[in-house]
Amino acid sequence: MKRLLAACSILSLSLSLALAMPVAAQAPAGFDGFLAIFKAHPPQPVAPPDIKAIPLSTTGSPDTTQWESMEGWVTARNVTQPALYPILPAPGTANGTAVIIAPGGAFLTLAFDTEGREVAKYLAARGVTCFVLTYRVDETPKDTDGLAAAIGARMGSAKPNMTHGDIAAPAEKLGQEDGLAAMAYVRNHASDYGIDPHRIGFMGFSAGGMTTMNVATHYDAATRPDFIGVIYGATHETPVPADAPPAFIALAADDPLLGHASVPIFDAWRDSGHSAELHIYAHGSHGFGMRKVGTSADHWIEDYYNWLTAEKLVVSKP
């Protein structure tokens, strides 16, 4: 398992494949090394999550989604119909705040567990109503060899030390549309879930972080997030909206893919006079999510929740 994460790290971990292994592992260099280990530990088919999904569109079909397990963590790919998976606080504990969570995966796959469901469980235990978003991604071959080749092709489009979201992904626009549709759905159904319609946030990881930034720069009155969380994400060189929501940004300094791309988000928000908080952990690489990697990055979720409470985005029940 240790070798598999290191191989992904060599390839900048742009997939955020949610593998549960220490960051500092060693592995053969280059794509050939990754390919050999990936084939030795291929994703295994699993049943869909036991959560009633909320489709956000009549396009596509839930039947195309491939649910798989990577070292015990659930992932999804070939998503053609976007959906929300609600993870709710225990009865009587909801505090009115809601968060839509967009997992990462280079717009090829979605780290449903480590960048979705596990995040939602943590927040729901603290009264936050959560929705994991499975947004549309680019099609990948169903077989492992084809998937590995698709990963390699996507990796090749990533620029070293890029400062903005410059990965060529046709599905990025679809993710933006699905993110805005998710915001509209949750706000329109706020009363059904006991949600304050003015305390609905959006957060994401890697490609999901890019989706978060696309939502945070292309909304209208009905789809504006009240706050955003960007975990090792990126943005395009897009003007900051005049009413941009407060932002929480976190990444690892040794992130080989987006270690230079998250800081410009903070700079843009601060320079335009908007509230932003930035956390840079010394170690953690890319794709740490809710995995335990043995560094201070393990505590990002606590920092995020502390920020929510300090900004009064989460309020205690009377």
CA distance 200 to 159: 33
Q: pLDDT at residue 191 above 90?
A: yes
- DSSP string over 81-105: S-EEEEE-PPTT---S-EEEEE--S
Report the run of H or E that residue 106 belongs to, with start and end. none
CA distance 148 to 184: 35
Percent of residues, the chain, with pLDDT higher than 70: 84
**Cα-based distances in Å from 23 to 75, 141, 265:** 20, 28, 25
Q: pLDDT at residue 8 above 90?
A: no
Segment 169-192 mean pLDDT: 96
Q: pLDDT at residue 158 above 80?
A: no
Domains along the sequence of the chain with CATH: 45-141+158-310 (3.40.50.1820)
Three-state DSSP class for residue 281: strand
Cβ atoms of residues 55 and 161 within 8 Å = no
Tokens of 196: 């304050």
Q: pLDDT at residue 21 above 70?
A: no
pLDDT band for position 36 (cuts 50, 70, 90) = low
Q: ∠ at Cα 53 (51, 58), nearest 5°?
A: 165
Q: pLDDT at residue 148 above 90?
A: no
For residue 50, what are the contacts with CB-CB under 8 A and spacing of at least 6? none
